[in-house]
Chains A and B, each alone.
Chain A
Amino acid sequence: MSLVPVNEPVVNPRAPFYRRLPVVSHFQKSVGLQRGMLVAGLILTAIFLLTACFAPLLAPYGYSQLSDADGNFPTQEAPGGKHLLGTTVGGYDVLSRVIWGAQTALFVIVVAVLMSVVIGVILGLVSGYIGGWLDRILVVIADAVYAFPSLLVAIVMAIVISGGQSSLIGGIFAAGTAITLVFIPQYFRVIRAETVRLKAEPFVESAKVVGASNTRIMTRHIYKNATRSLPLIFTLNASEAILILAGLGFLGFGIEPSSAAEWGYDLNKALADTTSGIWWTGLFPGVAIVLTVMGLTLVGESINDLNDPRLRGRKAAGATGGPDSSTAAQAAISADVRGI
């Protein structure tokens, strides 16, 4: 008897596969300002992803390149000419460092988020479903990690794993693991809360009644239903991962400039330049961080709003189509509304 269907937006399973993908289905549901925000976020994110993927083609020089056929690069040269965005105090090309930095950031996001998603989801499912002392211990550990400032945990992890400085792979994994450790509690909590809720749902009980094993219930019945909010945390965490990576680099726990380009490291080195009026070494890596984080956050926040029917904007009733054109849709909905 509800007036408005306030359940999760049901993505029509009959729609073609690509239309049911998280971001695509959200795009189709959005209108007005919400669609604008989503599109802006998607464009920024797409630019970031493309830059990261095609860095070797886009960047004029390598990330650690200090000279070319014409000899050594000049240091602290203003933007223009051969070096579009100028060069740093060490003689690196700023444009190339910014472009290669996108690649490092993407690697770290993928490593960190993948590891934390896998571990967080498994722990959350088991902890929420089995319950008891295992659940209590895991929750306490997750809370303890939560209580630490995330950057501090990341620093400690970076030191533990690589002694603070390292090569590309080592550095990425050090940063990735550090970020993973910070993020696991988030995934763990979200999945655990969903699992605890779903455990009491009649469809889980009906699986119990027919004799399904715990593993089967967790994998077949709870897993898919509990992971619906993951795309949202995924995007929001990706932007946080970039910030932590940049923070690590800025504090000097990043990746050596000879191993990979890293925005935070470049910002750190640009610190001294600011006072002498050299703005380009700090500005461009900073802008790169801001735009990437903003893009990912916009996508995440839009998905969040679109997932909630109460926050989602809709076209006013009566704006499109007459009663005839939507009779079928209406029949489907009234069947849907009835079932709530």
Chain B
Amino acid sequence: MTINIHSVPDQPRPADQPVLAIDHLKVTFATDGGDVYAVKDVSLDVRPGEVLAIVGESGSGKTVTAKTILVLLPETATSGGAVLINGNNVISVSASKLRQIRGRDVAMVFQEPSTALNPVFTVGWQIAEGILAHAGGPGGKRVTAKEAKVRAIEALRKVGIPDPEHRVNYYPHQFSGGQKQRVVIAAALALNPGLIVADEPTTALDVTVQAEILELLRDLRDKYGTSIVLITHNMGVVADLADRVVVMYQGDVVEEASSRVLFAEPKQDYTRKLLAAVPHLGRNSASEGLEERAHRSSPVLVEATNLTIEYPGRLGTPAFKAVDGVSFTVSEGEVFGLVGESGSGKTTIGRAIAGLNRTTGGSLKVLGYEMLNLKERTFKPLRKDIGFVFQDPAASFNPQLTIGECVAEPMIIHTAPSPAQARKRVGELLESVQLPASYADRYPHELSGGQRQRASLARALILNPRLLIADEPTSALDVSVQAKVLELFKEIQAEFGFAALFISHDLAVVDILSQWVGVLYKGKLVEQGIGSQVMGAPQHDYTKRLIASLPVPDPDEQARRRAAHRALLAT
């Protein structure tokens, strides 16, 4: 291994000594509303060659813990306790010593590879930057730019970038999302650190790409003995990769156990609840036992025939076909699940049905109205029959209006009710989404994410629409909140009986809600059918790959699925 010449540790590392030991870590942030205790008392250690997963929901302090390992906290943070990396307490070392430790002893992989790479430099330059920064330091030889580049190529080869000699001169935008994350990992590996801190390394990636990155991380551990601290909220990822798991909740460690033990017999209530909330593909399917399509005899609300939606290209480039010849129908009272990865056109279809995007070819009939050459004036009366739930509940409410005003808006526009009527109806709706009616007077930022998404559902339903479009309504929520919102959605759908187009990238979530599922891939509808049949016995190659890539929250089952996935890729 040519890359190893540089990584001579300060002191030899005995095999059993932990690479990382965190001892009674405490982190406090100064904010406008007073001090926030992000991490209260966390102790853990990571042994050589071990993958330790820190899991928890948002606000649990897992990311803060990870950032403390590399001392990346903002100025407003105060930390106490000790973080020992190979015997050095990074919280108290000098800035120059810290710079030596970073990159050489510990490196970080960030969540969003597109923002972690600088767009104006080649990836080779960015990997070499770390190598050059450590050249000439204690224990290091002078490294010329040429040697650094050779080592950058080596690092790119390690992470499986094809043709690294050539692609080392590429810019980040010339790589796909998954490859960018590989480059980020290559940069972290360049100095062969004993420890990699990966903060949600696959959250921004599609499932199929996620499977590849997880495979890569596992390889690194197996081949080079690198320890990994994996920060994630995804229980499937944990089951796939982790040896040991630390569960955090509100700044404290709730439970620590080996991966297998934790999933099989969680000891703490919180862990049990968390695991129960994780949707598991194949369990709790809405289409369980269905033999043929439900609601076939009901009137058709949405009918797409050879629907094509193009985004105009820039000067000289052809138009981009986001949706390419898609045909499907949604009948009254039916929940149609649309799954696909990013760029598959699923959101574009949802937006086109709501009249937010224009269709460019084929036919799309919504409630009998032809959306090709849509005229807002003639479509407006139909809008009261269409509800829309957006992905991000934080952004879909006007921050200047109260929840009551926001929820009442469709009613005010279409039926011009008296203030008393509007208030009464808003109260009813809030109660049916299980929010107290008094929340009408609150402002959106005073509600939690889950509460806001319920209010968003209330707004979509206030006029009793016949069709509801839900675009990734739970993907911005924590699992335990997601589970509650999904359950609520199911109940309300049964009660109100509206038809729904449920758009999501998460197969397990779609399966819980929808009887009929369509799978989109690069703008084409590759497969559609009864949910449990599509998930259980996929026909199209892409669907097979997609389902095989999805990690399930059970280490043993996941190991089997991984083997099956490898076999599938090998064929």
Taken together as a complex, chains A and B put the C-alpha atoms of A339 and B396 apart, in Å, by: 12
Taken together as a complex, chains A and B put the C-alpha atoms of A14 and B406 apart, in Å, by: 17
Known contacts: A1-B200, A202-B390. The answer to whether A329 contacts B78 by CB under 8 A is no
Taken together as a complex, chains A and B put the C-alpha atoms of A320 and B35 apart, in Å, by: 8
Known contacts: A209-B356, A317-B35, A318-B35. The answer to whether A3 contacts B64 by CB under 8 A is yes
Q: Would you list which residues of chain B between 345 and 366 have a CB under 8 Å from chain A?
A: 354-356
Known contacts: A339-B445, A339-B448, A339-B449. The answer to whether A205 contacts B390 by CB under 8 A is yes
- Closest approach, in angstroms, between the C-beta of A334 and any C-beta of chain B? 5
- Closest approach, in angstroms, between the C-beta of A279 and any C-beta of chain B? 47
Tell me if A336 counts as interface (CB < 8 A to partner B). Answer: yes
Q: Would you list which residues of chain B between 71 and 86 have a CB under 8 Å from chain A?
A: 73-74, 76-78
Contact of A339 among B36, B74, B394 (CB under 8 A): B394
Chain B minimum-CB-distance residue to A2:
B63
| B409 pairs with A207, CB closer than 8 A | yes
| A336 pairs with B390, CB closer than 8 A | no
Taken together as a complex, chains A and B put the C-alpha atoms of A3 and B391 apart, in Å, by: 22
| B443 pairs with A13, CB closer than 8 A | yes
Tell me if B400 counts as interface (CB < 8 A to partner A). Answer: yes
| B200 pairs with A202, CB closer than 8 A | no
Contact of A211 among B391, B410, B452 (CB under 8 A): B410
| A330 pairs with B33, CB closer than 8 A | yes
Taken together as a complex, chains A and B put the C-alpha atoms of A201 and B356 apart, in Å, by: 13
Q: Would you list which residues of chain A between 139 and 159 have a CB under 8 Å from chain B?
A: none
Q: Which residues of B contact A224 (CB under 8 A)?
A: 400
| A211 pairs with B380, CB closer than 8 A | yes
**What does the 1/0 interface line of B34-47 toward A look like (CB < 8 Å)?**
11111000000000
Contact of B58 among A14, A317, A338 (CB under 8 A): A338
Tell me if A333 counts as interface (CB < 8 A to partner B). Answer: yes
Q: Which residues of B contact A221 (CB under 8 A)?
A: 398
- Closest approach, in angstroms, between the C-beta of B243 and any C-beta of chain A? 24
Q: Would you list which residues of chain B between 221 and 243 have a CB under 8 Å from chain A?
A: none
Of B23-31, B496-504, B535-543, the segment with at least 4 beta carbons within 8 Å of chain A is: B23-31
**What does the 1/0 interface line of B389-413 toward A look like (CB < 8 Å)?**
0111111111111000010011001
**What does the 1/0 interface line of A197-210 toward B look like (CB < 8 Å)?**
00001110111111
Q: Which residues of B contact A316 (CB under 8 A)?
A: 30, 78
| A334 pairs with B36, CB closer than 8 A | yes
| A209 pairs with B30, CB closer than 8 A | no
Q: Which residues of A contact B380 (CB under 8 A)?
A: 211
Taken together as a complex, chains A and B put the C-alpha atoms of A75 and B37 apart, in Å, by: 70
Contact of B395 among A202, A309, A321, A335 (CB under 8 A): A202
Taken together as a complex, chains A and B put the C-alpha atoms of A326 and B406 apart, in Å, by: 31
Known contacts: A202-B390, A212-B409, A330-B36. The answer to whether A317 contacts B30 by CB under 8 A is yes
| A211 pairs with B36, CB closer than 8 A | no
Tell me if B383 counts as interface (CB < 8 A to partner A). Answer: yes
Taken together as a complex, chains A and B put the C-alpha atoms of A3 and B79 apart, in Å, by: 14
| B394 pairs with A333, CB closer than 8 A | no
Which interface residue of B32, B394, B452 has the most chain A CB atoms within 10 A?
B32
Q: Would you list which residues of chain B between 368 and 388 have a CB under 8 Å from chain A?
A: 380, 383-384, 386, 388
Known contacts: A1-B58, A326-B35, A339-B452. The answer to whether A225 contacts B398 by CB under 8 A is yes
Q: Which residues of B contact A9 (CB under 8 A)?
A: 32
| A314 pairs with B409, CB closer than 8 A | no
Contact of B36 among A13, A209, A325, A333 (CB under 8 A): A333
Taken together as a complex, chains A and B put the C-alpha atoms of A211 and B32 apart, in Å, by: 38
Q: Would you list which residues of chain A between 1 and 25 have a CB under 8 Å from chain B?
A: 1, 3-5, 9-10, 13-14
Taken together as a complex, chains A and B put the C-alpha atoms of A201 and B394 apart, in Å, by: 11
- Closest approach, in angstroms, between the C-beta of A64 and any C-beta of chain B? 48
Q: Would you list which residues of chain A between 193 and 250 have a CB under 8 Å from chain B?
A: 201-203, 205-213, 216, 220-221, 224-225
| B413 pairs with A210, CB closer than 8 A | yes
Q: Which residues of A contact B35 (CB under 8 A)?
A: 317-318, 320-321, 323, 326, 330
| A317 pairs with B76, CB closer than 8 A | yes
Chain A minimum-CB-distance residue to B384:
A211
Contact of A206 among B63, B76, B78, B459 (CB under 8 A): B459
Tell me if A269 counts as interface (CB < 8 A to partner B). Answer: no
Taken together as a complex, chains A and B put the C-alpha atoms of A83 and B200 apart, in Å, by: 75
| B28 pairs with A318, CB closer than 8 A | yes
Q: Would you list which residues of chain A between 295 and 340 have a CB under 8 Å from chain B?
A: 309, 314-321, 323, 325-326, 329-330, 332-340
- Closest approach, in angstroms, between the C-beta of A121 and any C-beta of chain B? 16
Taken together as a complex, chains A and B put the C-alpha atoms of A149 and B441 apart, in Å, by: 50
Taken together as a complex, chains A and B put the C-alpha atoms of A320 and B78 apart, in Å, by: 13
Tell me if B321 counts as interface (CB < 8 A to partner A). Answer: no
Tell me if B140 counts as interface (CB < 8 A to partner A). Answer: no
Tell me if A35 counts as interface (CB < 8 A to partner B). Answer: no
Tell me if B414 counts as interface (CB < 8 A to partner A). Answer: yes
| B34 pairs with A334, CB closer than 8 A | no
| A10 pairs with B399, CB closer than 8 A | yes
Q: Which residues of A contact B31 (CB under 8 A)?
A: 4-5, 314, 333
Q: Which residues of B contact A338 (CB under 8 A)?
A: 58-59, 448-449, 478
Known contacts: A205-B390, A210-B409, A338-B449. The answer to whether A314 contacts B76 by CB under 8 A is yes
Chain B minimum-CB-distance residue to A332:
B33
Q: Which residues of B contact A314 (CB under 8 A)?
A: 30-32, 76
Tell me if B447 counts as interface (CB < 8 A to partner A). Answer: yes
Taken together as a complex, chains A and B put the C-alpha atoms of A321 and B397 apart, in Å, by: 34
Q: Which residues of A contact B399 (CB under 8 A)?
A: 10, 203, 225
| B400 pairs with A317, CB closer than 8 A | no
Tell me if B67 counts as interface (CB < 8 A to partner A). Answer: yes
Chain B minimum-CB-distance residue to A209:
B388
Q: Which residues of A contact B459 (CB under 8 A)?
A: 206, 210
CB<8 Å pairs between A and B, sample of 6: A3-B74, A203-B406, A209-B386, A211-B383, A318-B35, A339-B449
Smallest CB-CB A-B distances: 9 pairs: A326-B34, A211-B383, A210-B410, A202-B396, A317-B28, A317-B30, A329-B34, A317-B78, A329-B33
Q: Other CB < 8 Å A-B pairs besides A211-B413, A320-B34, A338-B58, 7 of them?
A: A209-B355, A211-B384, A314-B32, A333-B36, A335-B448, A337-B58, A338-B59
